[in-house]
Amino acid sequence: NAGVMQNPRHLVRRRGQEARLRCSPMKGHSHVYWYRQLPEEGLKFMVYLQKENIIDESGMPKERFSAEFPKEGPSILRIQQVVRGDSAAYFCASSPGLEREQYFGPGTRLTVT
Protein backbone atom coordinates (compact mmCIF):
# COMPACT_ATOMS: atom_id res chain seq x y z
CA ASN A 1 0.00 0.00 0.00
CA ALA A 2 1.76 3.13 -1.22
CA GLY A 3 2.05 5.98 1.22
CA VAL A 4 1.25 9.62 0.64
CA MET A 5 3.06 10.85 -2.46
CA GLN A 6 4.21 14.39 -3.00
CA ASN A 7 5.91 15.94 -5.97
CA PRO A 8 8.12 17.57 -6.72
CA ARG A 9 10.37 16.87 -3.73
CA HIS A 10 12.34 20.05 -4.37
CA LEU A 11 11.15 23.15 -6.19
CA VAL A 12 13.09 26.31 -6.91
CA ARG A 13 11.21 29.41 -8.03
CA ARG A 14 12.24 33.00 -8.61
CA ARG A 15 10.31 35.75 -6.85
CA GLY A 16 7.06 36.45 -8.66
CA GLN A 17 6.70 33.00 -10.24
CA GLU A 18 4.02 30.45 -9.41
CA ALA A 19 4.59 27.25 -7.43
CA ARG A 20 2.37 24.17 -7.76
CA LEU A 21 2.73 21.38 -5.24
CA ARG A 22 0.98 18.04 -5.72
CA CYS A 23 -0.19 15.47 -3.24
CA SER A 24 -1.69 12.02 -3.82
CA PRO A 25 -3.22 10.61 -0.63
CA MET A 26 -2.89 7.04 0.53
CA LYS A 27 -5.21 4.60 -1.19
CA GLY A 28 -8.61 4.69 0.44
CA HIS A 29 -8.03 8.06 2.09
CA SER A 30 -10.45 10.82 1.18
CA HIS A 31 -9.22 13.57 3.53
CA VAL A 32 -6.18 15.71 2.69
CA TYR A 33 -4.37 18.27 4.82
CA TRP A 34 -1.58 20.69 3.97
CA TYR A 35 0.98 21.92 6.51
CA ARG A 36 3.94 24.25 6.25
CA GLN A 37 7.16 24.04 8.24
CA LEU A 38 9.44 27.03 8.44
CA PRO A 39 13.07 26.48 9.52
CA GLU A 40 13.44 25.59 13.22
CA GLU A 41 9.67 25.54 13.75
CA GLY A 42 6.90 22.98 14.05
CA LEU A 43 4.38 22.25 11.35
CA LYS A 44 1.58 24.76 10.90
CA PHE A 45 -1.81 23.79 9.51
CA MET A 46 -2.87 25.45 6.28
CA VAL A 47 -5.93 23.76 4.79
CA TYR A 48 -8.14 20.66 5.05
CA LEU A 49 -9.92 19.28 1.98
CA GLN A 50 -12.15 16.44 0.99
CA LYS A 51 -12.90 15.54 -2.60
CA GLU A 52 -14.10 18.71 -4.39
CA ASN A 53 -14.57 20.54 -1.09
CA ILE A 54 -12.49 22.85 1.09
CA ILE A 55 -13.49 22.02 4.65
CA ASP A 56 -11.21 24.34 6.63
CA GLU A 57 -8.81 26.93 5.22
CA SER A 58 -8.31 28.87 8.43
CA GLY A 59 -4.51 28.47 8.28
CA MET A 60 -4.13 29.57 4.69
CA PRO A 61 -2.78 33.07 3.96
CA LYS A 62 -5.56 35.17 2.49
CA GLU A 63 -3.69 36.15 -0.65
CA ARG A 64 -1.68 34.22 -3.24
CA PHE A 65 -2.40 30.76 -1.77
CA SER A 66 -5.08 28.37 -2.96
CA ALA A 67 -5.75 24.65 -2.71
CA GLU A 68 -7.96 22.13 -4.46
CA PHE A 69 -8.72 18.43 -4.34
CA PRO A 70 -10.56 17.56 -7.55
CA LYS A 71 -12.75 14.54 -8.11
CA GLU A 72 -9.95 12.98 -10.17
CA GLY A 73 -6.26 13.50 -9.61
CA PRO A 74 -4.06 14.80 -6.83
CA SER A 75 -4.59 17.66 -4.45
CA ILE A 76 -2.81 20.84 -5.55
CA LEU A 77 -1.45 23.63 -3.39
CA ARG A 78 -0.83 26.69 -5.52
CA ILE A 79 1.21 29.70 -4.54
CA GLN A 80 1.09 32.66 -6.87
CA GLN A 81 3.75 35.38 -7.09
CA VAL A 82 6.04 33.67 -4.63
CA VAL A 83 8.15 35.70 -2.21
CA ARG A 84 11.26 34.72 -0.23
CA GLY A 85 9.16 34.20 2.90
CA ASP A 86 7.34 31.34 1.15
CA SER A 87 10.53 29.26 1.29
CA ALA A 88 9.64 26.32 3.51
CA ALA A 89 8.86 22.62 3.57
CA TYR A 90 5.26 21.89 2.61
CA PHE A 91 3.81 18.63 3.87
CA CYS A 92 0.66 16.90 2.80
CA ALA A 93 -1.12 14.39 5.03
CA SER A 94 -4.12 12.15 4.51
CA SER A 95 -6.57 10.24 6.65
CA PRO A 96 -9.26 7.71 5.79
CA GLY A 97 -12.18 9.47 7.40
CA LEU A 98 -13.25 9.46 10.99
CA GLU A 99 -9.86 8.44 12.37
CA ARG A 100 -7.77 11.24 13.88
CA GLU A 101 -4.38 9.94 12.80
CA GLN A 102 -2.93 11.66 9.75
CA TYR A 103 -0.23 10.12 7.58
CA PHE A 104 2.32 12.40 6.03
CA GLY A 105 4.10 12.51 2.73
CA PRO A 106 7.82 13.26 2.35
CA GLY A 107 7.23 16.96 1.73
CA THR A 108 8.12 19.47 -0.96
CA ARG A 109 10.95 21.82 -0.18
CA LEU A 110 10.27 25.15 -1.85
CA THR A 111 13.13 27.59 -2.29
CA VAL A 112 12.40 31.08 -3.58
CA THR A 113 15.42 32.90 -4.98
Partner 1 sequence: DQQVKQNSPSLSVQEGRISILNCDYTNSMFDYFLWYKKYPAEGPTFLISISSIKDKNEDGRFTVFLNKSAKHLSLHIVPSQPGDSAVYFCAATLSGSARQLTFGSGTQLTVLP
* Binding residues vs partner 1 (CB under 8 A): 4, 6, 31, 33, 35, 40-45, 48, 55-56, 58-59, 91, 93, 95, 100-107, 109
Taking the complex as a whole, how short is the minimal distance between the CB of residue 21 and partner 1, in angstroms? Answer: 13
Distances from the Cα of 28 to the Cα of 31, 35, 48, angstroms: 9, 21, 17
Taking the complex as a whole, how short is the minimal distance between the CB of residue 63 and partner 1, in angstroms? Answer: 21
Taking the complex as a whole, how short is the minimal distance between the CB of residue 64 and partner 1, in angstroms? Answer: 21
By C-beta, is 4 or 82 nearer to partner 1?
4
Taking the complex as a whole, how short is the minimal distance between the CB of residue 83 and partner 1, in angstroms? Answer: 24
Q: Is 84 left (phi over 0), alpha (psi -120 to 50) or beta?
A: alpha
Among candidates 77, 60, 80, which has minimal Cα distance to 68? Answer: 77
Strands 103-104 and 43-50: unpaired
Distance CA(72)–CA(57), nearest Å, equals 21
By C-beta, is 17 or 37 nearer to partner 1?
37
